[in-house]
């Protein structure tokens, strides 16, 4: 018999400032390592006030991680030290592997209505921390969406659902990244790969995330799940939308300061020294 996962931890995302003064909510971050391994951080930035986001995230370095930007509404323009530039629009995804090092900027664009995006940081194991940087840019129309008989809609960004793989592939952490929308009273069940860390982040509505239906969990909350092989989630008193994300833990030491994540303090110090000397970007 397949065992249903239980809720291990519930936390509300916390307001914070990042970049040049962007107001956002942090679901988890540095203080939560290694609880969400291989995931390091999840930020939720949404506002209908341009002054909350227009300052953006000017030029800054990354090394040793991957960043996953998912735009729900609005546009973020980006550029980097390798000469890449472009824009991430509503429904688009950018999976950036910083690897050995990249310097980039991400600038939200002013718009009417709400600008809404999420950024997930994924750790890289020691053997891959100095890999060559790369991008996976995925347009909204290239994302497969499954509609189940129950009315549940599942948008697949990475991993597999119903035998169909999402467009983001060959990622070290073997992730599954699903955007799930449910009508009122619907139930969603899904088997998670053995040994993987799994969490949900509620975007809209509220629901139950355990079989005992012990606690209703609402928007802006992150739910860490475990102790089983399958999630069972139910919408409560209206529609529910959430991200369901899982990945293979690394189980390695984490040395983290700002935008750089390595395995040791010595590696971290070297990264910042190279940045100061203009030797950060590798050929």
Look at residues 279, 244, 210, 248 and name the one whose alpha carbon lies nearest to residue 122. Answer: 248
How many structural domains compose the chain? 1
Give dist(CA 278, CA 55) in Å, integer: 25
User: Would you write out the chain's pLDDT as a tens digit for each of its 283 residues?
Assistant: 889 999 999 999 999 999 999 999 999 999 999 999 999 999 999 999 999 999 999 999 999 999 999 999 999 999 988 888 999 999 999 999 999 999 999 999 999 999 999 999 999 999 999 999 998 899 999 998 999 999 999 999 999 998 888 888 878 889 999 999 999 999 999 999 999 999 999 999 999 998 877 789 999 999 999 999 999 999 988 999 999 999 999 999 999 999 999 999 999 999 999 999 999 998 6
Q: Which domain holds residue 23?
A: 6-277
Give dist(CA 282, CA 102) in Å, integer: 9
Backbone conformation region of residue 199, classed left if phi is above 0, alpha if psi is from -120 to 50, else beta: beta
Query: pLDDT at position 36, please?
Result: 98
Cβ 61 vs Cβ 36: under 8 Å: no
List all residues 6 or more positions away from 283 whose beta carbon is below 8 Å from its beta carbon. none
Query: pLDDT at position 283, please?
Result: 67
Instruction: Return the DSSP state at 271.
Output: H
Please indicate, yes or no, if residue 67 is contained in any of the structural domains. Answer: yes
Please indicate, yes or no, if residue 239 is contained in any of the structural domains. Answer: yes
Provide the 10 A C-beta neighbour count for residue 283.
4
In CATH, what number is assigned to the domain containing residue 229? 2.60.120.10
Query: pLDDT at position 72, please?
Result: 97
Please indicate, yes or no, if residue 1 is contained in any of the structural domains. Answer: no
Query: pLDDT at position 164, please?
Result: 83
Please indicate, yes or no, if residue 227 is contained in any of the structural domains. Answer: yes
Query: pLDDT at position 211, please?
Result: 80
Please indicate, yes or no, if residue 270 is contained in any of the structural domains. Answer: yes
Look at residues 95, 275, 244, 265 and name the one whose alpha carbon lies nearest to residue 176. Answer: 244
Please indicate, yes or no, if residue 252 is contained in any of the structural domains. Answer: yes
- Maximum distance among all Cα pairs of the chain, rounded to whole angstroms: 58
Please indicate, yes or no, if residue 283 is contained in any of the structural domains. Answer: no
Cβ 44 vs Cβ 13: under 8 Å: yes
Query: pLDDT at position 162, please?
Result: 87
Please indicate, yes or no, if residue 52 is contained in any of the structural domains. Answer: yes
């Amino acid at each position: 018999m397949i065992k249903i996962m239980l809720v291990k931890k519930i936390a509300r995302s916390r307001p914070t400032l990042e970049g040049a003064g962007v107001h956002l909510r942090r679901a988890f971050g540095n203080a939560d390592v290694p609880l969400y391994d291989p995931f390091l951080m999840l930020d939720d930035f949404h506002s209908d006030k341009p002054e909350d986001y227009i300052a953006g995230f000017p030029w800054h370095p990354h090394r040793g991680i991957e960043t996953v930007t998912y735009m729900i509404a609005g546009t973020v323009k980006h550029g980097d030290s390798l000469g890449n530039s472009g824009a991430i629009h509503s429904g688009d995804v950018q999976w950036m592997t910083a690897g050995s090092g990249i310097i980039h900027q991400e600038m939200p664009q002013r718009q009417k209505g709400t600008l809404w995006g999420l950024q997930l940081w994924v750790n890289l194991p020691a053997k891959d921390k100095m890999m060559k940087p790369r991008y996976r840019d995925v347009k909204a129309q290239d994302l497969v969406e499954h509609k189940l008989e129950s009315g549940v809609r599942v948008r697949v960004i990475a991993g597999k659902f119903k035998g169909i793989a999402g467009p983001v592939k060959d990622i070290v952490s073997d992730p599954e990244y699903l955007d799930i929308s449910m009508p009122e009273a619907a139930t969603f069940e899904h088997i998670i790969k053995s040994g993987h860390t799994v969490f949900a982040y509620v975007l809209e509505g509220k629901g139950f995330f355990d079989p005992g239906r012990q606690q209703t969990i609402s928007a802006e909350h992150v739910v860490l799940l475990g102790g089983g092989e399958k999630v069972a989630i139910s919408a409560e008193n209206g529609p529910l939308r959430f991200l369901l994300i899982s990945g293979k833990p690394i189980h390695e030491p984490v040395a983290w300061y700002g935008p750089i994540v390595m395995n040791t303090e010595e590696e971290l110090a070297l990264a910042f020294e190279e940045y100061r000397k203009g030797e950060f970007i590798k050929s």
